[in-house]
């Protein structure tokens, strides 16, 4: 390729003075600096004088600043050119001790004749040089940018082993070549033992070479030249900027630092940043740099448009080049802002082209600072500016190049905010104008199903979307229900083209650019959703606010009908593994439950109150890898699913049944929080997308639950966490007694022996031998076995009966039988201070049937509405006065100031005058001056009561000692703390 290159020639006579210094982290001191601004003949540096000959003219520098660089023009193109002589009288040290770094910017108009091998220097032919320095007699020699040798060369003279100066001749080929048009940054660092050359090309790439090519001998020029002043056949035309010489060598990191420092124009506005996306707004019109057509063809005219009509064609990226120029790339089609034709004429159209080649300077621009943080865009090829034609303020006005212009040539770069949505979350995509949600049409599951807008009461899982971002920042919008992605039908570019779902894939019409419009803010966050193929945005038909109207693509929006919010579908309340929930219907207030007390397959789901539900209204949620759930009954261990005996599972009113867990979609559920009613959720089938509802919005006990396309509050559900770990004052129990709410008596055995079949009963007294104390053996699934602390036998339902009234008794321990396993859970409001005990085999409650008599049986029953089905757990603690005795703390009692003044009552009174246990002692009672106590017998009669008790009762009533036995007390601390209940044993001897 033979093309003409304007030579980069300047003559500088320079006597070098370089001090030897050691390396440092900071850059070495500058010993010479020539800014070369304004076409000045000489830039003063310390201790130097200068003379100039020839013509110097100010030129645009690498930042596009007029007179920021110097153009050197020779009056004699063949022999003699312009030069600057810098001199200093100080003698120089030995050359081989010299350390230095030189940095200079030079401009190459056209590259020419890339050599394929070494070319000796000098030769007798005409050559053109950037600069020419050599260090024979302490002067360094560079060679390069010749018409025939468009690479960078270097001569260095150092002493050889014989003490004679000899030449290291370096000539760098690929990749150090002047094969691009624009500003090059050359940095050379040298010492006695090495020479390294670094060069940044106009495209921003850094190349570097270090080569030893043997020795050559050339004449000693005793000069440093930039150009060919008085050199043989040397032409002398050059652009140059920012010559610097440092006093030491530098590392590669410091080379990068020098380069980075030189890329920032002094006093400039903040420059656009690589990797960010911008809108470019014209100062005069307030409209945005956009494209005429939404297509991917070359020569697509640049025009100005309002952002709401421009889609993603008004989005641009700025790519800085090492020369200080930039490329401006359209985000929609990836093409570069350039000239419609290679011309320097005014009026040439600005358009976009596929011009990634480094030899296309018309696709490069200078960003020139303008008022108020704006920039003028100057084309690197023509030197003219991008302006709005005729300074028109109207839409569709063309962008052209022109050599002048005021505000119509000024542009503001507005950074575009981009979201970073998590792939692990689910979203509703809500139109900002209508407030309605993006929905799959008619619960469609197949490819080609369109989307419309709808309320959150009519759509179930068809409104839940996942977002997946690729490495280009484009998103796939994927239905949580169907696992298909939204795309523009037939990859159309047309306005009105439908948006449909299709199988997932890496195709461009199924990718979307999501970005904020300029009017979005923290209090009203919204986004445009532009198709990556067409550049057009997702909108609602005619700005409609009607449910069911379709969504399609259009070139622009009208009144925010193309603005969308992404609202997270918050499933946090149902994400915790191992937790148990009640699922309560918003309309009826009743719980999702099983219709029968058994664990058979096909048991139907219904709604019911807790009293009629037993353990059948407790559910666990197991989340799979796709974010879907199994809803597993905690009592039976089986999952809710659609009734698969129905031929068409997508039909309305298909009921729910429990079955063994499988991996069928009709047994999976998508749980999504309602936008309109936070805290309530839709439970939609993963196969059909339809939500579950209560039949006819009924409030009746036992009403059926099935799937249906439409729902109001009867399809809204709340998840209430259930505590299945009995505790007292936050202490998890491994041993407990249970008192019945109705009778106040404790779960005990009759007869009190180890016989299999001893019945569970309620007994008022709490014996010291622990017959009413139970060891709680928690199973891996959260259920319990209850072993009597005296017999170590298991509490179970007789003969695994499912009947109401079946006796609960003790039996020889069987570690696997369901009738000997119990679900202990906190009751629902208003009984949340109590606990229920349900059998795993039957799901029914352990109750006392309205009896207050001691030794009344405890049985199982399917109705738990009375207080007899509610229990209070108690902590058992050893007594300090009798190691065999046990005192019971009620779970509702909270000791006052437990760290210092906790009340502790003795469990033994023996009034025999020996000074031990003669009185009923309550430790710390003196701290409760308003206290009162009552003493009861076994049938609940009050035997003794006193206010402001002072540890003075001796187990006597009206002067007569009580008979031996067990009695019961109630202590009221009198400070608002809960009462404390317990027992006392009276012993005579």
The CATH number of the domain holding residue 307 is: 2.80.10.50
Burial of 126 (0-12, 13-18, 19+ CB in 10 A): middle
37 and 186, same domain (yes or no)? yes
Is 154 a domain residue? yes
pLDDT, position 282: 96
Q: Answer yes or no: are the C-beta atoms of 315 and 416 closer than 8 Å.
A: yes
405 and 434, same domain (yes or no)? no
202 and 58, same domain (yes or no)? yes
366 Cβ neighbours under 8 A, 6+ residues apart:
60, 62, 63, 64, 65, 324, 325, 326, 377, 378, 379, 380
HEC string for 860-873: EECCCCCHHHCEEE
3-class secondary-structure state, position 935? strand
Q: How many CA atoms lie within 13 A of 433 on its CB side?
A: 20
Is 316 a domain residue? yes
How far, in whole angstroms, is CA 693 from its chain's centroid? 34
3-class secondary-structure state, position 463? helix
Q: Kindly tell me the sign of the dihedral angle through the C-alpha atoms of 572, 574, 576, 582.
A: positive
Q: How many CA atoms lie within 13 A of 295 on its CB side?
A: 9
Q: Are strands 350-353 and 336-339 parallel, antiparallel or unpaired?
A: antiparallel
Distance from C-alpha of 333 to C-alpha of 189, rounded to nearest angstrom: 42
Distance from C-alpha of 111 to C-alpha of 5, rounded to nearest angstrom: 6
Q: Answer yes or no: are the C-beta atoms of 457 and 417 closer than 8 Å.
A: no
pLDDT, position 307: 93
Q: Answer yes or no: are the C-beta atoms of 847 and 869 closer than 8 Å.
A: yes
CATH code of residue 958: 2.60.40.3080
pLDDT, position 267: 62
Distance from C-alpha of 495 to C-alpha of 501, rounded to nearest angstrom: 18
Distance from C-alpha of 62 to C-alpha of 66, rounded to nearest angstrom: 10
Distance from C-alpha of 600 to C-alpha of 563, rounded to nearest angstrom: 51
Is 674 a domain residue? yes
Q: Answer yes or no: are the C-beta atoms of 565 and 523 closer than 8 Å.
A: no
Instruction: Give yes or no for a cis peptide into 751 (omega within 30° of 0).
Output: yes
Q: Which residue has the tokens 């030579």?
A: 7
The DSSP element (H or E) to which 300 belongs, if any, is strand 300-305
Is 641 a domain residue? yes
Which two three-digit tokens encode residue 474? 């484009």
Is 4 a domain residue? no
How far, in whole angstroms, is CA 141 from its chain's centroid? 56
Which two three-digit tokens encode residue 872? 């209070």
Q: Answer yes or no: are the C-beta atoms of 740 and 763 closer than 8 Å.
A: no
Q: Answer yes or no: are the C-beta atoms of 416 and 515 closer than 8 Å.
A: yes
Q: Largest Cα–Cα distance in the chain?
A: 140
Q: Answer yes or no: are the C-beta atoms of 484 and 505 closer than 8 Å.
A: no
Pick from 279, 275, 272: nearest CA to 530: 279
pLDDT, position 105: 85
Which two three-digit tokens encode residue 114? 């890339």
**Angle 891-894-897 from CA coordinates, rounded to 5°:** 155
963 Cβ neighbours under 8 A, 6+ residues apart:
986
Burial letters 666-693, b for 16+ CB under 10 A, else e: bbbbbbbbbbeeeebbbbbbbbbbbbbb
Looking at 547, 568, 589, the residue that finishes a domain is: 568
Q: How many domains does the chain have?
A: 6
Q: Answer yes or no: are the C-beta atoms of 767 and 856 closer than 8 Å.
A: no
HEC string for 824-884: EEECCCCCCCCEEEEECCCCCEEECCCCCCCCEECEEECCCCCHHHCEEEEEEEECCCCCC
Distance from C-alpha of 516 to C-alpha of 271, rounded to nearest angstrom: 21
669 and 559, same domain (yes or no)? no
3-class secondary-structure state, position 100? strand
Which two three-digit tokens encode residue 366? 């200078």
User: Residue 448 gets which letter from DSSP?
Assistant: T
Give the number of other Cβ atoms within 10 Å of residue 38's Cβ. 16
- Find the radius of gyration of the CA atoms of the chain: 45
Q: Specify which residues 306 forms β-bridges with.
A: none
Distance from C-alpha of 838 to C-alpha of 825, rounded to nearest angstrom: 8
288 and 225, same domain (yes or no)? no
793 and 904, same domain (yes or no)? no
pLDDT, position 765: 62
Q: Outline where DSSP puts E strands in 616-752.
A: 619-623, 629-633, 639-642, 656-659, 669-673, 681-685, 692-694, 705-707, 717-722, 727-728, 731-732, 735-740, 746-750
Is 550 a domain residue? yes
* SS3 of the chain: helix, strand, coil, percent, to 5: 10, 40, 55
Domain that holds residue 330: 278-415
Q: Answer yes or no: are the C-beta atoms of 581 and 720 closer than 8 Å.
A: yes
pLDDT, position 897: 45
Which pTM does this prediction carry? 0.64
857 and 916, same domain (yes or no)? no
The beta-carbon contacts of 294-297 under 8 Å, at least 24 apart in sequence, are 294/332, 294/493, 294/534, 294/535, 294/536, 294/555, 295/333, 295/493, 296/333, 296/335
Q: Answer yes or no: are the C-beta atoms of 473 and 334 closer than 8 Å.
A: no
Pick from 849, 763, 844: nearest CA to 798: 844
Q: Specify which residues 633 forms β-bridges with.
A: 619
383 and 282, same domain (yes or no)? yes
Distance from C-alpha of 848 to C-alpha of 856, rounded to nearest angstrom: 7
733 and 654, same domain (yes or no)? no
Number of H helices, E strands in the chain: 2, 77
Q: Specify which residues 750 forms β-bridges with.
A: 759
10-residue mean pLDDT profile of the chain (989 residues): values are: 27 28 62 66 45 66 75 50 43 47 75 47 35 35 39 53 55 60 80 76 74 40 37 48 82 89 74 91 96 93 95 94 85 94 93 73 87 89 92 95 86 95 92 95 93 83 93 95 96 96 97 96 94 96 91 91 90 68 96 88 93 93 87 94 92 93 87 85 92 94 92 90 92 90 90 90 68 91 93 92 94 82 94 94 92 88 89 68 36 42 87 88 91 83 89 89 86 88 81
Is 420 a domain residue? no
Looking at 686, 721, 756, the residue that finishes a domain is: 721
Distance from C-alpha of 457 to C-alpha of 675, rounded to nearest angstrom: 10
Distance from C-alpha of 552 to C-alpha of 529, rounded to nearest angstrom: 11
Burial of 151 (0-12, 13-18, 19+ CB in 10 A): buried
222 Cβ neighbours under 8 A, 6+ residues apart:
136, 137, 139
User: Residue 347 gets which letter from DSSP?
Assistant: T
756 and 897, same domain (yes or no)? no
Looking at 662, 696, 721, the residue that finishes a domain is: 721
Is 552 a domain residue? yes
Q: Answer yes or no: are the C-beta atoms of 629 and 574 closer than 8 Å.
A: yes
Q: Give me the phi and psi of 589, to 5 degrees please.
A: 75, 5
User: How far is the CA of 251 from the CAs of 103, 194, 260, in angstroms?
Assistant: 14, 12, 14
Distance from C-alpha of 796 to C-alpha of 757, rounded to nearest angstrom: 9
687 and 717, same domain (yes or no)? yes
Q: Outline where DSSP puts E strands in 42-99.
A: 49-53, 55-59, 69-73, 83-87
163 and 100, same domain (yes or no)? yes
Distance from C-alpha of 465 to C-alpha of 655, rounded to nearest angstrom: 26
User: How far is the CA of 443 from the CAs of 511, 545, 652, in angstroms?
Assistant: 23, 20, 11
């Amino acid at each position: 390729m033979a093309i003409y290159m304007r030579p980069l020639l300047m003559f500088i006579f320079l006597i070098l003075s370089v001090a030897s210094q050691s390396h440092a982290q900071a850059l070495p001191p500058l010993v010479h600096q020539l800014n070369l601004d304004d076409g000045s003949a000489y830039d003063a540096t310390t201790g130097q004088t200068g003379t100039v000959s020839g013509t110097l003219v100010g030129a645009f520098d690498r930042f596009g600043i007029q007179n920021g660089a110097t153009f050197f023009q020779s009056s004699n193109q063949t022999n003699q050119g312009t030069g600057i002589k810098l001199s200093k009288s100080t003698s120089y040290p030995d050359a081989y001790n010299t350390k230095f770094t030189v940095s200079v910017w030079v401009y190459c108009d056209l590259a020419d004749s890339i050599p394929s091998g070494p070319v000796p220097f000098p030769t007798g032919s005409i050559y053109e040089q950037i600069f020419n320095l050599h260090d024979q007699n302490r002067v360094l020699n560079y060679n390069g940018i010749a018409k025939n040798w468009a690479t960078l060369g270097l001569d260095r003279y150092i002493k050889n082993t014989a003490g004679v100066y000899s030449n290291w001749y370096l000539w760098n080929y690929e990749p150090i070549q002047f094969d691009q048009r624009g500003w090059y940054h050359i940095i050379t660092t040298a010492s006695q033992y090495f020479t390294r050359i670094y060069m940044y090309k106009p495209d921003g790439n850094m190349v570097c070479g270090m080569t030893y090519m043997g020795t050559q001998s050339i004449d000693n020029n005793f000069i440093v030249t930039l150009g060919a002043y008085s050199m043989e056949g040397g032409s002398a035309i050059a652009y140059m900027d920012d010559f610097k010489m440092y006093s030491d060598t530098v590392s590669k990191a410091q080379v990068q630092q020098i380069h980075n420092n030189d890329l920032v124009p002094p006093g400039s506005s903040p420059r656009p940043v690589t990797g960010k996306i911008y809108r470019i707004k014209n100062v005069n019109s307030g409209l945005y740099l956009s494209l005429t057509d939404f297509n991917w063809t070359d020569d697509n005219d640049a025009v100005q448009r309002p952002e709401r009509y421009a889609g993603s064609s008004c989005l641009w990226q700025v790519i800085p080049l090492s020369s200080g120029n930039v490329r401006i790339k359209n985000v929609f089609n990836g093409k570069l802002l350039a000239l419609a034709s290679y011309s320097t004429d005014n009026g040439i159209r600005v358009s976009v082209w596929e011009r990634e080649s480094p030899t296309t300077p018309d696709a490069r621009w200078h960003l020139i600072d303008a008022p108020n943080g704006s920039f003028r865009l100057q084309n690197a090829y023509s030197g003219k500016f991008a302006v709005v034609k005729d300074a028109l303020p109207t839409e569709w006005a063309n962008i052209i190049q022109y050599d002048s212009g005021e505000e119509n040539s000024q542009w503001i770069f507005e950074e575009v905010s981009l979201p970073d949505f998590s792939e692990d979350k689910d979203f509703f995509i809500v139109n900002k104008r209508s407030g309605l949600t993006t929905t799959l049409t008619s619960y469609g599951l197949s490819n080609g199903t369109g989307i419309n807008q709808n309320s959150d009461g009519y759509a179930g899982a068809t409104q839940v979307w996942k977002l997946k971002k690729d490495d280009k920042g484009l998103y796939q919008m994927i239905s949580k229900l169907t696992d298909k992605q939204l795309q523009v039908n037939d990859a159309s570019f047309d306005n009105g083209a439908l948006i449909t779902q299709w199988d997932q894939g890496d195709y461009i019409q199924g990718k979307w650019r999501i970005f904020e419009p300029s009017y979005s803010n923290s209090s009203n966050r919204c986004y445009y959703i532009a198709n990556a193929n067409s550049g057009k945005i997702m909108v609602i038909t005619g700005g409609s606010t009607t449910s069911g109207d379709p969504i399609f693509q259009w070139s622009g929006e009208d009144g925010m009908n193309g603005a969308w919010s992404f609202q997270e579908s918050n499933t946090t309340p149902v994400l915790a593994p191992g937790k148990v929930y009640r699922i309560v219907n918003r309309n009826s207030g009743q719980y999702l439950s099983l219709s029968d007390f058994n664990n058979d397959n096909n048991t139907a789901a219904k709604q019911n109150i807790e009293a009629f539900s037993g353990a059948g209204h407790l559910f666990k949620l197991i989340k799979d890898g796709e974010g879907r759930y199994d809803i597993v009954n905690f009592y039976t261990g089986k999952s809710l699913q659609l009734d698969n005996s129905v031929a068409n599972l997508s039909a309305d009113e298909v009921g729910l049944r429990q079955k063994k867990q499988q991996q069928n979609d009709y047994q999976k559920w998508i749980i999504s929080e309602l936008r309109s009613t936070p805290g309530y959720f839709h439970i939609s089938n993963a196969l059909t997308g339809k939500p579950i509802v209560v039949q006819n919005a009924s409030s009746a006990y036992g009403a059926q639950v099935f799937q249906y396309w439409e729902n109001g509050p009867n399809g809204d559900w709340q998840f209430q966490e259930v505590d299945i770990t009995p505790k007292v004052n936050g202490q998890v129990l491994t041993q407990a007694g249970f008192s019945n709410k109705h009778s106040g008596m404790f779960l005990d055995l009759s007869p009190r022996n180890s016989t299999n079949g001893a019945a569970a009963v309620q007994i008022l007294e709490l014996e010291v031998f622990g017959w009413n104390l139970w060891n709680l053996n928690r199973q891996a699934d959260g259920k319990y076995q209850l072993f009597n602390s005296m017999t170590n036998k298991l509490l179970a339902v007789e003969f695994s009966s499912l009947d109401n009234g079946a006796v609960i008794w003790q039996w020889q321990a069987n570690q696997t039988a369901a009738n000997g396993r119990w679900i202990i859970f906190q009751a629902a409001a208003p009984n949340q201070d109590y606990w229920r005990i349900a059998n795993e085999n039957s799901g029914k409650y352990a109750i006392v049937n309205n009896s207050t008599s001691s030794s009344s049986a405890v049985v199982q029953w399917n109705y738990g509405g009375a207080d007899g089905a509610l229990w209070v757990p108690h902590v058992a603690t050893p007594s300090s006065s009798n190691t065999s005795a046990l005192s019971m703390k009620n779970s509702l009692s909270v000791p006052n100031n437990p760290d210092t003044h906790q009340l502790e009552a003795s469990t033994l009174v023996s009034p025999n005058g020996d000074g031990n246990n003669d009185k009923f002692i309550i430790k710390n009672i003196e701290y409760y001056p308003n206290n009162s106590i009552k003493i009861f017998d076994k049938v609940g009669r009050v035997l003794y009561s006193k206010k402001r008790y002072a540890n003075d009762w001796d187990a006597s009533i009206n002067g007569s000692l009580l008979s031996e036995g067990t009695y019961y007390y109630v202590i009221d601390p009198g400070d608002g703390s809960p009462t404390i209940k317990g027992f006392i044993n009276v012993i005579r001897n």
